[in-house]
Structure 1
Amino acid sequence: MQSRQAAREQAELPPPRQVQVVALGRVEPSSRVIDVAASSSGRIDRLVVQQGDTVETGQVLAYLDTYAVRRAERDLAASQLAEARAQLAAETNLGRSQVQEASSRLGQIDQPQQAAIAAQAAAIQSLQAELNVAEIDLDRFQQLNESGAIARQELDRQRATVNRLQADLANATATRQRLEQARDQDLANAQAQVAATEASASLAQVMSRVDSAAQSLALAESQLALTLIRAPQPGQVLDIFAYPGEAVSLAGEPVLALGDTRQMIVVAEVYETDIGLVQLGQQATITSRNGAFADTLTGTVEDIGLRIAKNDVLDDDPAANADARVVEVRVRVDQSQVVARLTNLQVDVAIDIES
């Protein structure tokens, strides 16, 4: 009777409150493990890193066997570009010299002609002044002749002087016009020569060769870059899959694995039934069931996955569910140095859902 009463009371008690979410997890770098592959097919010629080496972004990790050929092609393209640029500089200097020479000839033609035109204009001005005086004298001589003060012969001489000056002025004016027309024609011819010199000094063809050489160099540098395997991010070489002499291809295996082990995380595979209890910022403890490290590590939930998938980390218990549906939860480890060399280690994770 008492046992039935105790059982009834026990059944009426509320179920125990869950305070932790436990899960299996794996250790990996916070940057994830990057499988570094070759950008072109070939064979590994030289590896310049070893497992465990620390590398920086862009650092060369390995050379393919086509590197020497591509480097020679790049050097040839660089020399062709340098030659084209030197030719462009020479053509530019020659063109400038020719244009300057043509412009100098233009000045040599123009200056004497301007001087001749100016002298002719001065002569016209002098003749015009003489003619003005002679015409005034002619009027006075006509008046004097009418009054009988001078002889007819004096009047005729003055009229002849006026006629001569008018003829000289007309000739001088015509000469100036011829000089101006000749100057205009000579200037037009000289300017045409300058324009022709500038046109003949056109650098379009040479510049086209420079552009073509620059494009060839860019192509050669791109092809050379394909023969180098570089680090896409800073980190540590975790494993090497291909060694000198082994073939690599775009569709083949990666050359090496790289991860930034300065900060490690644990990817905990939380059952879909428990994921609603997990929140960002919750504290977690991490232990190793196989003794890979002795102390209990701590961490913080920093990311909760958005996709439910089949579990990747399998329990060593044969009765465990090998086809569970889980969500990956990333836990930032506080003691990264302890597990920095233990990528993919299986661990037990307990997330404190009350923290």
Structure 2
Amino acid sequence: MATTPESDLPLNLDLADGNSPRGRRWFHKRYLLVLLIPVFMFLGGVLGMYFQPVPIQKFYALTGLQPGGGSDSPIALPPNVELPAQMAETMLPSDVVGLARVMPRGDVSVVAAPYGAGDARLSELLVSVGDRVERGAPVARLDNQAALEGAVLLAEANLAVRQATLLQTRSAVESSRDEAQATLDQARANLREARANLERTEKLAASGVATGATLDTARAAAQDATLSVTRAEATLARFSSVDLDAQPDVLVASRNVAAAEADLARVKLDTQRALVVAPIAGTILDIKATPGQRPPAEGIMEMGDTSQMMAEVEIYQDRIGSVKPGQPVELVAAALGRTLRGTVESIGLTVGRQGLISDDAAANTDARVIRILVALDTASTEIASGYTNLEVIARIDTSAEARTVR
């Protein structure tokens, strides 16, 4: 069988082996591509963690993951926290960062209209923004004061009538008792006279001087006198009690007086519905109503104890384990132009949704956070007392030794 030369085959495949120049070039390109892919992936990860573009932020929001969450000492920040330059320069891996707001101790208290004020309108404001008031001090008046004072006058008049009725009842009972006693004395005297007349008549009848009819009349008179004594004794028995106040009529009148006194005390208490008082001792922060306006549902004014300012910080749940009471805290806000300082006072017991968010529309608002309270020092309190609800960035130094919280 004749052998067909390779040049005579229908397909002439020019396969480049590894030793040919063309094969070596193709091998070098593939090797370079394999090396560049990890480099590009690494650079993309670094740039993505640094700039955190919107797609990466949406990925974290969708998956619930956080940059650096898998490390014991993450250095990446949540996408909705942008550190000031001076804080970023001194950032340590052990620091815990979170959004916070400045508030008075105990938070802001709402001063609302008193219970039962109804449709009353605001009549007068007794304080201004920035005034310091004590607990229970009047801060405003409502226009229902005249009506409530009129109810007090009516209750006082009703009490006076009930008291006069009591005196009248006492006098009537005393007179009735004396009259019953006099009636009994007269009935007993008539009985003695009737019995004496009956004895004389019986003697005369026995001598034949008096007739039988006269004797019967004497006996009937003696029997009527006996019944009169019985009726008088029964009437006097109604007033047999030595204590006049225990008499039924006097007791009813006394109870009516007590009811009138209770009603007067109630309407006097109702006059407090015309006065708005401070629920705590503190400073007036804001006034939300003007005279002539019905008190709004959100309250007439807001106040707080600005003598000790606090900060409520939201910390992601995966970082709370390193936070302890007494650790130093640094708070920075562009509006203040300086740094505030304080210490961790308490750590919340519940995990909730994030309440403080930045202006970034792609920020993760479903993050699970724990709220801690930070007590500002004296110097920081003086500065922050005029910035209630100011949003700041808090950095907790978890590597520092915790100080005792007073």
Q: TM-score range by the shorter chain?
A: 0.5 to 0.7
Q: Which amino acid aligns with 1:272?
A: Q
Equivalent position SS for 2:351: strand
Distance in 2 (alpha carbons) for counterparts of 1:352 and 1:110: 105
- Which of 307, 320, 328 in structure 2 is aligned with 1:284? 328
1:28 aligns to what?
Answer: 103
- Deviation of residue 243 (structure 1)? 0.9
Residues 30, 184 of structure 1: alpha-carbon distance in 2 compared, 3 angstrom cutoff: farther
Q: What fraction of aligned residue pairs are identical, expressed as a percent?
A: 27
> Cα gap change, 1:309/1:112 in structure 2, threshold over 3 Å: closer, same or farther?
same
User: How is 1:188-337 mapped onto 2 (pairs within 5 angstroms)?
Assistant: 188-196=230-238, 202-207=249-254, 209-214=256-261, 216-217=263-264, 220-221=267-268, 223-248=270-295, 252-279=297-324, 281-290=325-334, 292=336, 294=338, 296-314=340-358, 318=360, 321=363, 323=365, 325=367, 326-335=369-378, 336-337=381-382
RMSD over aligned Cα atoms: 4.1
> Relative contact order, CA 8 A, sep 6+: which one is greater?
1
Deviations 1:20-50 (A, max 9, x none): 2121211112222122222433321111111
Deviations 1:278-311 (A, max 9, x none): 23x2323233322527454222322314131123
Closer/same/farther in 2, CA of residues 296 and 82 from structure 1, 3 Å limit: same
Q: Which residue of 2 aligns with 1:124?
A: none
- Aligned pairs, number: 278
2:394 to 346, 349, 353: 349
> Shift of residue 202 of structure 1?
0.8
The TM-score, its normalising length taken from structure 1, stands at: 0.63
* 3-state SS of 1:27 partner: strand
TM-score, normalised via structure 2 length: 0.56
Show CA shifts across 1:38-77 (max 9, x none).
2433321111111122223332221222221222122222
Residue aligned with 1:217, SS: helix
SS at match of 1:226: helix
Note the C-alpha offset of 1:328.
Answer: 1.5
Unaligned runs of 5+ in 2: 1-70, 75-92, 193-222, 241-245
Query: Aligned partners of 2:225, 2:349: CA distance in 1, in Å?
Result: 89
Q: Does 1:101 align with 2:178?
A: yes
Question: Quick one: which amino acid aligns to residue 396 of structure 2?
Answer: I
Which secondary structure state, in structure 1, belongs to the residue aligned with residue 306 of structure 2?
Answer: coil
Select 2:168's aligned residue among 66, 71, 91: 91
Q: 1:156 is matched with which residue?
A: none
**Structure 1 unpaired stretches of 5+:** 1-13, 117-180
Report if aligned partners of 1:282, 1:351 keep a CA contact under 8 Å in 2: no
